[in-house]
Structure 1
């Protein structure tokens, strides 16, 4: 991992390969390690940049009161410091919310973008109550009970006993309590960004898991346009990068080939 100081806080990141830049943004209570099965295949032809989002992995936390837009600003600061003019951005879950916020403000810095098990819809009222309950859980019990309750739901029930579920838990335990709480509140308060999908002329890839218990496919496939591709991965929950990495990589390569004419 490398680190940069961005707006007086440390952001950790991986930077591998050469070529056109792509950036991966992980989900809530994840880290750059979420993409470890994907990086080798794509770093052969592309420069792959993967941050630990603020409050996750080895990166410093935001204070409470941050927004999804603040996460997007941090990503802009990263690519600015790396002197990268344009990227193709893949955002998983929370990372997808950040990708949409980035696309809303900085579309000129994107060659295209992808939502991976994510959605442009805001939280429902029920989901907002769940976020607040989880903030209270972290306050009362710490990060481990949150992770132990969350992670099994990320996977298809058929995959719940696979070894990679324990890997995802280990990654989750590295999330700081402050990072988890500030991120929960930012996700709770995010707005509806379907307008970003409706208005963008950029190439877009929407990826959903057939058995996703967190974000069902219809929440991902919210806008249909000629520049938006949809992919439904079979026998996959919310974590295709572990459950079916070869299928995810195939979709990503096809999408990137349409942008960069590189396979």
Structure 2
């Protein structure tokens, strides 16, 4: 049975958890079809030393749907409004997959509110063939006739399909609201190039982490973004795919813990 973390809710209807204190204030943004529980290992590890806030995306978990067109800039505006609503000043932000695109947009547009940024399994400038494939999946999802099992084949290797991470992600995909999923996936499918040329202007510490088996959010994408950012660092975890924060929780969490204290040379 899917275990639900206790949540609070903002006046605008965003569900979130708030754990820990001290250190950096870190906000976690999950990917399409997921919810706060997909960050379980990172919330537990990082809240020992930092304040950690994890949010449900619009139309996911217990958050209200997005009241705007399903485009990436509107999700970025939603997140910026949440930072204001929670009364946060400067924050560190880590996003996974769709959450990584939102984090990138926040870094590009609200750099004065950002201490550091981390993209986990973030997509960057898809090839034409990859764009066509993901937009076709978005069309299928919007139609309401989509296979909730299909992402599991891309996100997990055969060796990972008997694990707790696989079971959790399977259950989250089964539970997600179809309309919320479709809106977020449309923005994900069309958003990879919106802020992709802005990394040279992002001067805070920037981490780009993925698994070497992720064929859609590739190691090459992570390395390209890291080269473009003045203080970028790419980390590729071997033997893992798209849900690397769950299939390699200790390594991913420790990499994030290091990033939260990393001070690049001036």
TM-score, normalised by the number of residues in structure 2: 0.88
1:199 deviation in Å?
A: 2.1
Matched, 1:250 2:254: yes
**Structure 2 residue aligned with 1:14:** 17
Matches of residues 29-48 of structure 1 in structure 2 within 5 Å?
29-48=33-52
- Rate the CA distance shift 1:93–1:23 in 2: closer, same or farther, 3 A: same
| Range that drifts further, 91-100 or 121-130 | 121-130
Partners of 2:72 and 2:205 in 1: CA distance: 22
1:137–1:200 distance in 2 versus 1, CA, 3 Å = closer
Matched, 1:119 2:123: yes
Structure 1: unaligned runs, 5 residues or longer: none
Corresponding residue of 1:98: 102
1:61-84 per-residue CA deviation (whole Å, 9 max, x = no partner) reads 225722111111222222212211
Q: Which runs of 4+ in 1 moved over 6 A?
A: none
Aligned pair count reads 254
Alignment check: 8 A CA contact 1:55 1:178 kept: yes
Q: How many angstroms does 1:122 deviate by?
A: 4.9
Aligned ranges for residues 7-86 of structure 1 at < 5 Å? Answer: 10-19=13-22, 20-62=24-66, 65-86=69-90
Q: How large is the RMSD of aligned CA atoms in angstroms?
A: 2.1
Q: CA deviation at 1:32?
A: 0.7
- Cross-structure match for 2:216: 214
Mapping of residues 95-244 of structure 1, within 5 Å:
95-122=99-126, 124=128, 126-137=130-141, 139-141=143-145, 145-190=146-191, 191-223=193-225, 224=227, 225=229, 227-244=231-248
CA contact (8 A) 1:194 1:222 kept: no
Provide closer, same or farther for how the CA distance between residues 129 and 216 of structure 1 changes in structure 2, counting only shifts above 3 A.
closer
Instruction: Give the TM-score, by structure 1 length.
Output: 0.89
SS in 1 for 2:246: helix
Q: Deviations over 1:217-257 (max 9, x none)?
A: 11222131551111111111111121110000111111111
Match of residue 9 from structure 2: 3
Q: Secondary structure at the match of 1:147?
A: coil
Q: Distance in 2 between matches of 1:187 and 1:63?
A: 17
Contact 1:2 / 1:12 at 8 angstroms: preserved in 2? yes
Q: Matches of 1:132 and 1:210 in 2, distance apart?
A: 25
Measured after TM superposition, the shift of residue 151 of structure 1 is: 2.1
Instruction: Report the CA distance shift for 1:221/1:164 in structure 2 as closer, same or farther (over 3 A).
Output: same
Taking the aligned partners of 1:242 and 1:188, their CA distance within structure 2 comes to 23
Runs of at least 5 residues in structure 2 that lack an aligned partner in the other structure:
1-6
